[in-house]
């Protein structure tokens, strides 16, 4: 039996999972790590906390595998990494120690710098070279801030990278400083056409190109694990992708036109658009979907900043709903939101609006409104934001999303799935294993090491749990969406 381990280093914790060649889960472990909020709009992580959580989950996983295998060490064929994207880590390659806290993708401290760059006329070059927009969401201005204002010194041993490169460095015992094309494409420092770091973008943001990791294919040998790691020495680390691209791969969206949405802290809608890099599309991002070593596949992406995070926030403020399941139950207790609209712009709005100044709001309140109506409106907001992105994709590629494959923590919410199908007027398919981010990382690693012979072979591990069909009542769906857009407009340019 071939065993593949996936490390999913997310925004609030690290989960590690072991699967076999059929996609069956053999073992699972999860550890949260602290979030740091030093001020409004500021979000930081301690890189050592991420590494400690990774180490603990791998130790638990190995112990569980030994128990399954009568105490004998499991033969691990490969390890893959999926990671929160855009978060920036800076460390000293000589000492291996972080030089500052990591700036998290949600952090908006560089919003003013992005506005300045746009005012100076740099947006067209940014769109053309990187496929991205000038937003504090991306890594480049975060790296610039660390070097200019965060006390990180520029020296020959400086390493600046995303979370995957930090974990590769640690797992390899400091012998590998690398990232993959999907993570590189989220930095504002990567040239989509050439597949290399952009000298002009690095110069614009004053990030030394020598401080950046080597860019490698998403499926391929990055390193072998060091003997100091929880996994022990010599295991091939052979698959790496940003979490959303890993989920797209894990959902089996290998053909152009296939799309998925991950309902995590935020939501990320990705559509496979094939091997030709498309021109920039208003409101959407162009990104590398993956590189299997034979060339890059591209995707259009709509990034939604707050979906699951909205439910988490509600859990803290609504009595009687102490967990996400409680929010769903509360939302189901009413037939509709009674005109209440929740716009979860806690950290600004992403696609297709790209307004970091927007702020969250609850609108349409009357004396008849109850916590149940607010809970229902919060669930609806996840589906409505996704519809906005899907409509932008339809406009860009000339065809609607025919089916949406979903994953992430909130994908278990049947009410959300039903509302989403109605809003898209398209089926919503939920797999048996909703941890498709980890599945994608495992599949990329297993492909590189021969566990699966082809992407199609790997995709056979995807199994449908439930398919939600639209009810066909477009009038109600469109009325709700129109009310949503009316409320959303009032939160922009706050």
Write out pLDDT tens, residues 18-77: 998 888 889 999 999 999 999 988 999 999 999 999 999 999 998 888 876 555 556 889
Contact predicate 207/143, CB 8 Å? yes
- DSSP per position, 325-340: HHHHHHHHTSSS-TT-
Statement: residue 187 has pLDDT above 90: yes
Starting at the edge strand found earlier in the chain, the sheet holding 428-431 runs 285-291, 296-304, 267-274, 259-263, 404-407, 428-431, 464-468
Confidence class of residue 461 from pLDDT cuts 50, 70 and 90? Answer: confident
Query: According to the model, what pLDDT value does residue 321 have?
Result: 62
Interacting residues of 130 by C-beta distance below 8 A, sequence separation 6+? 185, 187, 188, 189, 190, 191, 192, 198, 201
Q: State pTM to two decimals.
A: 0.86
Query: According to the model, what pLDDT value does residue 29 have?
Result: 94
Interacting residues of 67 by C-beta distance below 8 A, sequence separation 6+? none
Write out pLDDT tens, residues 427-439: 999 998 877 889 9
What is the C-alpha to C-alpha distance for residues 19 and 61, in angstroms, rounded to an integer?
Answer: 11
Domain ranges of the chain: 3-244
Confidence class of residue 106 from pLDDT cuts 50, 70 and 90? Answer: confident
Query: According to the model, what pLDDT value does residue 236 have?
Result: 94
What is the C-alpha to C-alpha distance for residues 391 and 401, in angstroms, rounded to an integer?
Answer: 8
Task: Return the higher-pLDDT residue of 98 and 311.
Answer: 98
Contact predicate 93/170, CB 8 Å? no
Distance of CA 469 to the CA centre of its chain: 26
Write out pLDDT tens, residues 154-182: 999 999 999 999 999 999 999 999 999 99
Confidence class of residue 398 from pLDDT cuts 50, 70 and 90? Answer: confident
Taking residues 309-324, what's their average pLDDT? 78
The angle subtended at Cα 483 by Cα 308 and Cα 111, nearest 5°, is 55
Statement: residue 346 has pLDDT above 70: yes
In SS3 terms, 225-277 reads as CCCCCCCCCCCEEEEEEEHHHHHHHHCCCCCCCCEEEEECCCEEEEEEEECCC
Task: Return the higher-pLDDT residue of 251 and 74.
Answer: 251
Query: According to the model, what pLDDT value does residue 104 have?
Result: 95
Distance of CA 390 to the CA centre of its chain: 17
- Closest C-alpha among 433, 458, 466 to residue 24: 433
Task: Return the higher-pLDDT residue of 316 and 181.
Answer: 181
As a whole number of Å, the CA-based R_g of the chain is 22
What mean pLDDT, rounded, does the chain reach? 91
Statement: residue 95 has pLDDT above 90: yes
Q: How many CA atoms lie within 13 A of 208 on its CB side?
A: 15
Query: According to the model, what pLDDT value does residue 259 have?
Result: 92
Domain spanning 3-244, CATH class = alpha beta
Query: According to the model, what pLDDT value does residue 357 have?
Result: 87
Statement: residue 1 has pLDDT above 80: no
Task: Return the higher-pLDDT residue of 135 and 98.
Answer: 98
Strand 76-83 to strand 3-9: parallel, antiparallel, or no bridges (unpaired)?
parallel
Taking residues 385-392, what's their average pLDDT? 94
Taking residues 90-119, what's their average pLDDT? 94
Sign of CA dihedral 353, 36, 374, 427: positive
Write out pLDDT tens, residues 475-488: 999 999 999 999 99
Statement: residue 399 has pLDDT above 70: yes
Query: According to the model, what pLDDT value does residue 460 have?
Result: 84
Taking residues 292-316, what's their average pLDDT? 89
What is the C-alpha to C-alpha distance for residues 374 and 163, in angstroms, rounded to an integer?
Answer: 35
What is the C-alpha to C-alpha distance for residues 281 and 276, in angstroms, rounded to an integer?
Answer: 14
Statement: residue 319 has pLDDT above 80: no
């Amino acid at each position: 039996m071939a065993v593949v381990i996936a490390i999913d280093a997310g925004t609030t914790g690290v989960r590690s999972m072991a699967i076999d060649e059929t996609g069956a889960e053999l073992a699972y472990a999860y550890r949260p790590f602290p979030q740091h909020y030093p001020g409004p709009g500021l979000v930081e992580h301690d890189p050592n906390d991420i590494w400690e959580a990774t180490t603990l989950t791998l130790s638990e996983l190995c112990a569980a595998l030994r128990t399954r295998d009568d105490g004998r060490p499991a033969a691990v064929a490969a390890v893959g990494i999926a990671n929160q994207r855009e978060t920036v880590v800076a460390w000293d390659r000589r000492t291996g120690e972080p030089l500052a806290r990591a700036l998290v993708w949600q952090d908006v401290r560089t919003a003013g710098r992005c506005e300045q760059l746009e005012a100076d006329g740099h947006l067209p070059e940014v769109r053309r070279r990187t496929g991205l927009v000038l937003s504090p969401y991306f890594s480049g201005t975060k790296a610039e801030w660390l070097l200019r204002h965060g006390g990180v010194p520029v020296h020959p041993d400086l390493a600046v990278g995303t979370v995957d490169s930090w974990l590769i460095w640690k797992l390899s015992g400091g012998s590998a400083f690398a990232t993959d094309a999907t993570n590189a494409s989220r930095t504002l420092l990567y040239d989509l056409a050439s597949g290399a770091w952009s000298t002009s973008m690095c110069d614009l943001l004053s990030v030394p190109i020598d401080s950046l990791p080597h860019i490698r294919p998403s499926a391929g040998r990055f390193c072998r694990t060091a003997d100091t790691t929880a996994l022990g020495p010599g295991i091939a680390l052979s698959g790496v992708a940003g979490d959303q691209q890993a989920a797209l791969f894990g959902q089996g969206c290998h053909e152009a036109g296939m799309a998925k949405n991950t309902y995590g802290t935020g939501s990320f809608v990705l559509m496979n658009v094939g091997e030709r890099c498309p021109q920039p599309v208003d409101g959407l991002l162009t990104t590398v979907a993956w590189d299997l070593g034979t060339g890059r596949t591209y995707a259009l992406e709509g990034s939604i900043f707050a979906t699951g995070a909205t439910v988490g926030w509600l859990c803290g403020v609504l009595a009687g709903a102490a967990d996400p399941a409680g929010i769903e139950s509360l939302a189901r207790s009413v037939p509709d939101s009674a005109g209440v609209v929740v716009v979860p712009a806690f950290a600004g709005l992403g696609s297709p609006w790209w307004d970091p100044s927007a702020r969250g709001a609850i609108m349409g309140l009357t004396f008849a409104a109850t916590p149940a109506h607010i809970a229902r409106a919060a669930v609806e907001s996840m589906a409505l934001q996704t519809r906005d992105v899907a409509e932008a994709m339809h406009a860009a590629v000339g065809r609607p999303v025919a089916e949406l494959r979903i994953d992430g923590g909130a994908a278990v919410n049947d009410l959300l799935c039903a509302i989403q199908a109605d809003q898209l007027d398209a089926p919503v398919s939920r797999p048996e294993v909703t941890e498709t981010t980890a599945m994608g990382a495992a599949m990329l690693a297993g492909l590189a090491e021969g566990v699966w012979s082809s992407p199609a072979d790997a995709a056979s591990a995807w199994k449908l749990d439930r398919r939600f069909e639209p009810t066909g009542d477009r009038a109600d769906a469109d009325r709700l969406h129109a009310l949503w857009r009316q409320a959303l407009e009032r939160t922009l340019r706050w």
